[in-house]
Amino acid sequence: QSVLTQPPSASGTPGQRVTISCSGSSSNIGTNYVYWYQHLPGTAPKLLIYRNNQRPSGVPDRFSGSKSGTSASLAISGLRSEDEADYYCAAWDDSLSGPVFGGGTKLTVL
């Protein structure tokens, strides 16, 4: 069981906006930054969002992150076929003294 909880799957059609949720607790999301990763099979995970809502250079502004209390969300607007991937949230956990990940959400573009 992952420390952070994500829905196992999400889907949308091209051009649509989809959101992926991530639920945690006061020891992780509640007090620390949230990060989001995109993972395509056979490749290295790619940092999409850092420190709740910041995008690294090169990440399209179609991707956005938000946080409220002990939950966070990743929103993808203008969905494209190449967005089909697994998405993971992550945060530092004060109780474990280390980073923890969500179980991942498989996004399907219909």
Partner 1 sequence: QVQLQESGPGLVKPSQTLSLTCTVSGGSISSGGYYWSWIRQPAGKGLEWIGRIYASGSTNYNPSLKSRVTISVDTSKNQFSLKLSSVTAADTAVYYCARDHDGYGANFDYWGQGSLVTVSS
> Does residue 91 belong to the site contacting partner 1 (CB under 8 A)?
yes
The encoded tokens of residue 26 equal 């006061």
Question: What phi and psi, each to the nearest 5 degrees, are found at residue 73?
Answer: -140, 145
> Does residue 44 belong to the site contacting partner 1 (CB under 8 A)?
yes
Nearest Cα neighbor of 74 from 82, 85, 65 is: 65
Give min distance, CB of 43 to partner 1, in A.
Answer: 7
Task: Give the residue, chosen from 48, 83, 102, 107, that forms a contact with partner 1 under the rule CB under 8 A.
Answer: 102
Give min distance, CB of 90 to partner 1, in A.
Answer: 4
> Does residue 37 belong to the site contacting partner 1 (CB under 8 A)?
yes
Task: Give the residue, chosen from 12, 24, 65, 104, that forms a contact with partner 1 under the rule CB under 8 A.
Answer: 104
Question: What HEC string does 24-82 produce?
Answer: CCCCCCCCCCEEEEEECCCCCCEEEEECCCECCCCCCCCEEEEEECCEEEEEECCCCHH
Binding region for partner 1 (CB under 8 A): 2, 32-33, 35, 37, 39, 43-47, 50-51, 56, 88, 90-92, 96-104
